[in-house]
Copies of this chain bind each other. A is one copy, B any other.
Amino acid sequence: MSLTLTIKLHLASPPHFGLTHANKGTTCKTKTFSNTKVGAKPIYSATPLITPLCRVKPRVQCGGMVIKSSLIEPDGGALVDLVVPECVRSSKIVEAEILPKVQLTRIDLEWVHVVGEGWASPLRGFMREDEYLQSLHFNSLRVKGGSVVNMSLPIVLAIDDETKGRVESATHVALVGPDGDYVAILRSIEIYKHSKEERIARTWGTTAPGLPYVEEVITPAGNWLIGGDLEVIKPIKYNDGLDNYRLSPKQLRNEFDKRQADAVFAFQLRNPVHNGHALLMNDTRKRLLDMGYKNPILLLHPLGGFTKADDVPLDVRMEQHSKVLEDGILDPETTIVAIFPSPMHYAGPTEVQWHAKARINAGANFYIVGRDPAGMGHPTEKRDLYDPDHGKKVLSMAPGLEKLNILPFRVAAYDTKENKMAFFDPTRAQDFLFISGTKMRAYAKSGENPPDGFMCPSGWKVLVKYYESLQAEEASQQPVLSST
């Protein structure tokens, strides 16, 4: 099965949300919308996953100003927003036209999206060598004033020898999207060696062949990295019917503020939600209420960038998630579903830090971490690539994440006595059935139903339909044996 995620740039003018921009020297005096206007033109209206905006009176009202959030502070103190104001967009395109060009892949574009919206705050572009080395060696960056922010994955842009030769004498370059449009300008560039082997070894803790991100992104990439400050020419859109769910950290923060959240707990996932997950999320909310929080909001935050071929594709997952909310397994009143635009590395303990750090920037002060986060099987050995406990251990000790509350995942399994997903009780272990992802896929592929109570039936149907379509596709691709 190949990756079905399609990425297209939206060339038509997207709505402007009146957000202020941190770009130096590019302030606009026109077209500043008030937040009321944002509310009046909800971007989420096409979806049942998020309760309508402005239902709860915003705590902070302002006209044309950034809402001052009382949520957890973004890394570096201020949320980075590198998308240039609409008023200067055309002049940036004119400038891009005369700059040397660097061609982006679809996954490069995902990173422009991620960095441009501030998920990696305070990072303001693709890493220069100092940042790359700190990320590789220390999983963190030292920022002005001496404090440290977490940054466990190198966020870099690779170029080949030909491109290097063409752009290295320039100060700024234009980044060209996969569809040929100008995506961004990269300023004050720095070109340095792409130490692929070292990058892979230090990020994944292995250099074994078969790591999905390595094979898809790093191996085919050029031998140079180009760092610099990003100016994103317009918001990145994919036109896949899911753009409304791609809320930026700023939009999420506004939403949390409007809902008067006093705690935000994030759940990162790249799999369908079963009732064990739901139990965990509902239990977390209960624990937060017990701790004295009045209105904890769940950020159910599926990863939307590159995933490996045998993961369930984003559109199927989103449909499945919507059923979980429609069925009331999760409460839409206290849940926001949005897409995290990052590509997946499958780098276990190193990557889970990135997943958590990015959610701080989106306003989450609690992060749920499970068994073997961002892990996978070892590509060449019959074992997990990472010790399943290392993810949460590393996360709990990671530099720059001290302000985040880590909530370890309690193990849920199917309780055959109660016929529902429940927290595993070791005193009656024999009553519990562990349904792994592989097992779940096997059920869905065979059309067999999992035990009652494993997943809401409408969500389960989404999966069955997906695997049926896959099998139909595979069958149609079987080579026809020529008769002899």
Contact = CB atoms under 8 A, between A and B. Distances in A.
Interface residues of A, number: 35
* Residue from A138, A350, A387 having most chain B Cβ neighbours under 10 A: A138
Nearest to A136: B205
Contacts of A193: 387
A134 interface: yes
A309 interface: no
A405 B201 CA distance: 30
Interface stretch (A34-42, A139-147, A158-166, A429-437): A139-147
Contacts of A218: none
A197 interface: yes
A137 B207 contact: no
A201 B195 contact: no
Interface string A393-425: 110011100100000000000000000000000
Number of copies: 2
A130 interface: yes
A148 B140 CA distance: 13
Given A201-B206, A202-B205, A205-B198, A137 B398 contact: yes
B195 A387 contact: yes
Contacts of A398: 137-138
A349 B198 CA distance: 11
A306 interface: no
Given A193-B387, A202-B202, A205-B197, A133 B399 contact: no
B201 A133 contact: no
A445 interface: no
A402 B139 CA distance: 17
Nearest to A393: B133
A136 B393 CA distance: 13
A137 B195 contact: no
Contacts of A197: 205-206, 208
A397 B129 contact: no
Contacts of A387: 193, 195
Contacts of A138: 138-140, 397-399
Given A133-B393, A193-B387, A195-B205, 4 more contacts: A136-B205, A137-B350, A137-B398, A142-B397
20 contacts: A129-B393, A133-B390, A133-B393, A136-B205, A137-B139, A137-B350, A137-B398, A138-B138, A138-B139, A142-B399, A146-B402, A193-B387, A195-B205, A195-B387, A197-B206, A197-B208, A201-B201, A201-B202, A206-B207, A207-B207
